[in-house]
Amino acid sequence: MVPALLAAGFTLSALGQIAQGRASYEQLMGAANAHRYNAAIKRWSADQTLLSTNLNEESFRRETRQQLGKQKTAVAESGFADTGTMADVQKRSIFNAELDALNIRYAGSLKAHTLRQEATGEEELAGSAERAARAARLGGYLGAAGSLFAGGGRYLGS
């Protein structure tokens, strides 16, 4: 009777270690899947950021061309010559508008780059979680085998 109870105890211990290993595996694989999902969302967000940045830049350029056209028309209607100080003001306005458009593009590119970097970090976390999951599952099986061998050794030793 005692050897049967001893065998049952070691078997239950082994099954518990397998169950614990599997539970850890499932939890870590869930985390890995969440990281992969986050990476996909960040990559999509980066693409959307670039698209909206291009639209914003084009919209800004279009509005600026209209404003500069109105400015040029106002200068022409005022009777001032399109030379000297007026020409310098117009050139400066064109230059500043181009800088503003480039700043819009740069800010969008920087944000998209940051999102892609974050996506890469999420992928790395997913890989780490998957490796940990496999190690936890293997640890459960090895722990179970160890329990069974220890139980067998005790049984044979008694």
Q: What is the mean pLDDT of residues 128-146?
A: 95
Q: pLDDT (tens digit, 9 = 90+) per residue, 19-75?
A: 999 999 999 999 999 999 999 999 999 999 999 999 999 999 999 999 999 888 887
pLDDT at 75: 78
**105: Cα separation from own chain's centroid:** 22
What's the distance, Cα to Cα, between the start and end of the chain in Å?
Answer: 14
pLDDT of 98 higher than 80: yes
Sign of CA dihedral 29, 35, 39, 40: positive
Tell me if the pTM is above 0.85.
no
